[in-house]
Homo-oligomer: A and B are copies of this chain.
Amino acid sequence: MIIIAEKLNGSIPSCGKAIAARDEEYIKDLAKRQADAGADFIDCCASVENGETETLKWMIDAIQSVTDCPISVDSPDVSAIIDAMQYCKKPGLFNSVSCEGNKLELAFPILAKPENKDWHVMALLCGDDGIPKTAAERIEIFEKIMAEAKRHGIEDKRIHIDPLVEMLCTKEDGEGVSLILEVMGHIKKTHPNVHISGAISNVSYNLPARRLINQAFTVLTINAGMTSVVLDPLSADLRGMILATEALLGNDDYCLEYIGAYREGLFA
């Protein structure tokens, strides 16, 4: 499971404040703790109205001063990501593209360059009309993204697909999360080397005891093929639940990884 650590994001109020105040210690502390907790990428999202590239550079520098964990450069503005990539000392995650506007046309030629061949890319299954309401429409967008990636020679294993997890509390028609699980199932079947990803905590928005919904959803999505996830790596129960699920699904012989992580104190 590839862990994309979510806590350095300017849209989180405490982090937004730290960014506005250029509180480097705040960034360094969370970067270090998330890396120590086993993050594979540290997400870095400025979420500022002006000076995004400069802000991203400041955050990236702070992160890289305490850890060599790869960075997920996160912005709705593809050009800002392209600008900020140059500040990363090692290949990271281009987060994100989608079928909205000219994002693919801007991003994929950059990602196709030989010097960027080890960068991963997160692709959201949405387009100019926002988030599609049906699984079929999201699968159509997925196929379009994959066709473009192929055209640019970007290998499946570099691509993370976020089928766009929505909040459960507004579902009324007995559907639950079946749409997401269906899209994940399609991706797993047709492109087994693509990483199926998602920001799982979106599912529990506005519900009580969110950790239980998040944990149960994580189990269902791993079962459906999820191999990459945006989460808080400091949440011990969630990390433990992921390892427990991998063991239950037969991906951890004799539960050695699960037991090892327990012994290391990853969860209790």
Contacts and interface: CB of A to CB of B under 8 A. Distances in A.
A176 B250 contact: yes
Interface stretch (A14-22, A36-44, A166-174): A166-174
As for how many copies of this chain the complex holds, the number is: 2
A82 interface: no
A102 interface: no
A61 interface: no
Interface stretch (A111-119, A145-153, A213-221): A213-221
Nearest to A210: B244
Interface residues of A, number: 43
A14 B36 CA distance: 41
A190 interface: no
A268 B176 contact: no
Interface string A205-248: 00111001101110110010000000000000100110111011
Contact of A212 (B169, B172, B212, B237): B237
Nearest to A178: B250
Interface stretch (A66-74, A91-99, A251-259): A251-259
Contacts of A173: 250, 253
Nearest to A203: B248
A217 B241 CA distance: 10
Contact of A248 (B176, B241, B249, B255): B176
Nearest to A177: B248
A215 B213 contact: no
Nearest to A204: B244
7 residue pairs, one from A and one from B, having the closest CB atoms: A176-B250, A219-B219, A216-B244, A208-B262, A174-B250, A212-B240, A212-B244
14 contacts: A173-B250, A174-B250, A175-B250, A177-B250, A208-B258, A209-B240, A209-B244, A209-B268, A212-B237, A213-B248, A215-B241, A216-B245, A216-B248, A220-B248
